């Protein structure tokens, strides 16, 4: 099904993700399936309750998020117009050439997989980890700043990287490294729409990653894998919003709900393709393969369920702020 077909039918889906109980067969330790070619699929959603009676469905999370991120309106009463159709066609063409997608979304720094592998390796020494951190002055300074923050302050300030790493602990160090390396990817770009959206995308990503970390254990998912998924998930939206800017409709004050929901799926597919190709860790690669075939809210996968719930909580949190 093409993006335009998806857009015509998406307004029928029920609002808000439903929380499901964790299922043991989707444990985070399950063996990683072999890589498959990226083939985006867009399942047809069921009609929402009340459609037949002519009742207006509640505002979907995708619409609430879009309004928050862009400052633009999303209207269920507006029909999908020609400009929106053209954006969806261009994105559909792009999604059929996954090798080109990485030019539209930021790529995590190459040092991130090495650092994460080192931090997961029980045999790796703290000195080896700190040597990698020291290679990036900005990252080293951020680790020292966090170690000396009020949250982690225990005694005299530290100026030595190894002592700072010890104070943060492995989990705190992994979260600090990931956040510090990924935050620059959300810096403002030249496109006016992205200049507005990127700081908000980062705030949402921080909230989402925090929720992922907090609820991961309820689903039997590694807390750091969940944290990293929440932190990177919005990178797909950068590519989707970039398409609006390049199509010349980034300044449009109001978009149709059909278009926004289709754009939301495009952002998922862009993230999915990136997650598979970044090779940050096995769990993120697996999540990319799952999302390339199923929408996030329909995924029967433990990490995807955590991400879906955290995404909804983060949207409610930032939209209410």
- Full pLDDT tens readout for the chain, 321 residues: 566 665 555 445 443 444 333 333 333 334 444 544 444 444 333 334 444 444 545 568 899 999 999 999 999 999 999 999 999 999 999 998 877 887 888 888 878 888 887 777 655 667 777 888 887 777 888 888 888 885 666 667 888 888 888 888 888 888 888 888 888 888 877 788 899 999 999 999 999 999 999 999 999 999 999 999 999 999 999 999 999 988 989 889 999 999 999 999 999 999 999 998 888 889 999 999 999 999 999 999 999 999 999 999 999 999 887
3-state secondary structure of 60: coil
Pair (140, 271) in one structural domain: no
Pair (104, 120) in one structural domain: no
Pair (121, 98) in one structural domain: no
Q: What pLDDT does 206 receive? A: 95
Q: Which domain holds residue 176?
A: 111-180
Q: What pLDDT does 50 receive? A: 43
CA distances for 55 relative to 52, 58, 66, 106, angstroms: 8, 9, 23, 40
Give the pLDDT confidence of 132-170 residue by residue, as tens digits.
888 777 788 888 888 888 566 666 788 888 888 888 888
Q: Decide which of 137, 157, 180 is a domain's last residue.
A: 180
C-beta separation of 98 from 269 below 8 A: no
The model's pTM = 0.76
Note whether residue 102 is domain-resident.
yes
DSSP string, 143-164: HHHHHTSTTT--SS----HHHH
Q: What pLDDT does 298 receive? A: 93
Q: What pLDDT does 81 receive? A: 95
Pair (143, 266) in one structural domain: no
Pair (202, 134) in one structural domain: no
Characterize 136-175 residue by residue with b for buried, 16 or more Cβ atoms within 10 angstroms of its Cβ, and e for exposed.
Answer: beebbebbbebbbeeebeeeeebeebbebbebbeeebbbb
Distance CA 130, CA 134 (A): 6
Pair (142, 262) in one structural domain: no
Give me Rg for the CA atoms of the chain.
Answer: 20
Pair (162, 226) in one structural domain: no
Note whether residue 273 is domain-resident.
yes
Note whether residue 282 is domain-resident.
yes
Pair (90, 207) in one structural domain: yes
Q: What pLDDT does 61 receive? A: 86
Of 288, 70, 54, residue with least CA distance to 197: 70
Pair (168, 264) in one structural domain: no
Note whether residue 37 is domain-resident.
no
Q: What pLDDT does 33 receive? A: 47
Pair (90, 165) in one structural domain: no
Give the pLDDT confidence of 13-40 residue by residue, as tens digits.
443 444 333 333 333 334 444 544 444 4
The total number of structural domains that make up the chain: 2
Distance CA 200, CA 118 (A): 31
Q: Decide which of 154, 180, 206 is a domain's last residue.
A: 180
């Amino acid at each position: 099904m093409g993006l335009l077909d998806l857009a015509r039918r998406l307004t029928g889906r029920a609002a808000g993700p439903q929380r499901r109980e964790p299922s043991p067969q989707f444990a985070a330790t399950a063996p990683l399936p072999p890589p498959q070619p990226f083939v985006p699929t867009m399942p047809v959603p069921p009609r929402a309750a009340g459609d037949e009676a002519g009742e207006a469905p509640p505002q979907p999370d995708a619409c609430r998020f879009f309004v928050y991120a862009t400052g633009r309106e999303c209207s269920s009463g507006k029909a999908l117009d020609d400009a929106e159709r053209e954006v969806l066609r261009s994105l559909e063409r792009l999604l059929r050439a996954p090798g080109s997608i990485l030019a539209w979304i930021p790529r995590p720094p190459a040092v991130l997989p090495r650092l994460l592998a080192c931090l997961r390796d029980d045999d790796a020494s703290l000195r080896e980890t700190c040597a990698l951190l020291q290679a990036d002055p900005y990252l080293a300074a951020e680790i020292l700043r966090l170690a000396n923050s009020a949250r982690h302050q225990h005694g005299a300030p530290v100026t030595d990287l190894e002592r700072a790493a010890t104070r943060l602990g492995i989990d705190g160090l992994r979260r600090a490294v990931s956040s510090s390396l990924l935050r620059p990817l959300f810096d403002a770009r030249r496109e006016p729409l992205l200049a507005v959206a990127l700081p908000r995308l980062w705030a949402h990503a921080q909230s989402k990653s925090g929720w992922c970390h907090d609820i991961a254990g309820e689903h039997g998912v590694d807390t750091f894998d969940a944290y990293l998924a929440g932190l990177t998930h919005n990178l797909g939206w950068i590519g989707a919003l970039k398409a609006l800017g390049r199509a010349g409709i980034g300044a449009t004050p109001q978009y149709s709900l059909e278009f926004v929901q289709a754009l939301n799926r495009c952002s998922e597919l862009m993230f999915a393709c990136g997650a598979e190709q970044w090779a940050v860790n096995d769990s993120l690669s697996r999540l990319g393969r799952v999302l390339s075939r199923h929408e996030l809210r329909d995924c029967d996968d433990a990490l995807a369920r955590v991400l879906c719930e955290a995404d909804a909580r983060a949207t409610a949190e930032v939209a209410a702020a």
